[in-house]
Amino acid sequence: MSILESKVLLKKERQLQIIHQINLHNKILSSDLSLILNVSEDTIRRDLNELASENKIVKVHGGALSKSYNVSATQADTYAYDQKKIIATKMIKLIKDGMTILTSGGTTMRAIANQLPNNLHVTFFTVSPLISLELAEHPNVEVIFLGGKISNISKISVGGEVVSKINDIKADLCVLGINGFDPEGISDSDYEVVQVKKAMIKSSRQVVATTISEKLNSDLRLRVCTLNEIDYLITELSPSHELLKPYHDLVKYIL
């Protein structure tokens, strides 16, 4: 054990953290950064000004924005980010030390990866480059990327090689990001993605479906699985919420 688990952040480090946060959420409030990094808002403001003058971020009243701001994609993201954070919090409670977890991609999964506490010792198998990077930030997490052809659309690896690799795994938990979800089951629109998700479900002891409530009761063209194949449904809503009523008989646990 080393003596110097210094809590002191060097200025440069703090600024890197700020950039990381901004890249992740696309925007950030000075007040949030102040809380996260445990320094005064003045210091944050000075950092933001400095980073802005170096052209690394865009400073706005109250906080800062990412430089490469993809309007259409990210606005939806930021809009749902709070909800996804709630989902992440619920999801993380299911994770125990020593688990092996299989995960797909998607922004909800990304929020989970980001919120993961640093003291968890777990092994993640993933098909998403983005998630693998986010997970690799956690020192006690082992990340295995299941390689294959990267789908231009969904940005996860797909194809026979991935599927057969997944078949060789026996995971404790499968965390699925969801695109279509209704009483008939989970659905998706991309054939290759469906193959991967099916394999993931088959290789896991328990399956967790995570989705923002917005996607409830939407049906896409291809079926991934029926609801009796999943163990947990996690949304940002309270389990007793009206919208979730139709699912209480169909899914084992709703969180």
Partner DNA sequence: AAATATCAGGCGAATTCATGCAATAACAAA
Partner DNA sequence: TTTGTTATTGCATGAATTCGCCTGATATTT
By the criterion CB under 8 A, which residues form the site for a second copy?
2-4, 6, 8, 10-13, 16, 19-20, 23-25, 27-29, 32, 36, 55-56, 58, 60-63, 65-77, 129-130, 132-133, 135-137, 139, 142-152, 155, 157, 162, 165
Whether residue 233 contacts residue 254, with contact meaning beta carbons closer than 8 Å, is answered with: yes
Nearer to a second copy, 142 or 219 (CB): 142
Residues that bind DNA (CB under 7 A): 8, 10-11, 14, 29-31, 39-43, 45-47, 49, 59-63
The item of a second copy, DNA, none sharing an interface with residue 118, based on CB under 5 to 8 Å by kind, is none
Least Cα distance to 105 among 188, 226, 205 occurs for 188
Residue in this structure with the two tokens 């924005």, named with its chain if needed: 65
Under 8 Å CB-to-CB from 163, ≥6 apart: which residues?
Answer: 195, 196, 199
Whether residue 148 contacts residue 162, with contact meaning beta carbons closer than 8 Å, is answered with: yes
Nearer to a second copy, 19 or 254 (CB): 19
Nearer to a second copy, 19 or 251 (CB): 19
Q: How far is the CB of 17 from DNA (least distance, A)?
A: 12
Nearer to DNA, 31 or 189 (CB): 31
> What is the residue-wise DSSP string for 180-206?
EEETTEEEES-HHHHHHHHHHHHTEEE
The item of a second copy, DNA, none sharing an interface with residue 152, based on CB under 5 to 8 Å by kind, is a second copy
The item of a second copy, DNA, none sharing an interface with residue 49, based on CB under 5 to 8 Å by kind, is DNA
Q: How far is the CB of 48 from DNA (least distance, A)?
A: 7
Q: How far is the CB of 145 from a second copy (least distance, A)?
A: 4
Q: Are strands 222-225 and 232-234 parallel, antiparallel or unpaired?
A: unpaired
Whether residue 184 contacts residue 219, with contact meaning beta carbons closer than 8 Å, is answered with: yes
- The residues facing 210 across adjacent strands are 177, 234
Nearer to a second copy, 9 or 250 (CB): 9
Decide: residue 154, CB within 10 A, 0-12 exposed, 13-18 middle, 19+ buried.
buried
Q: How far is the CB of 245 from a second copy (least distance, A)?
A: 34
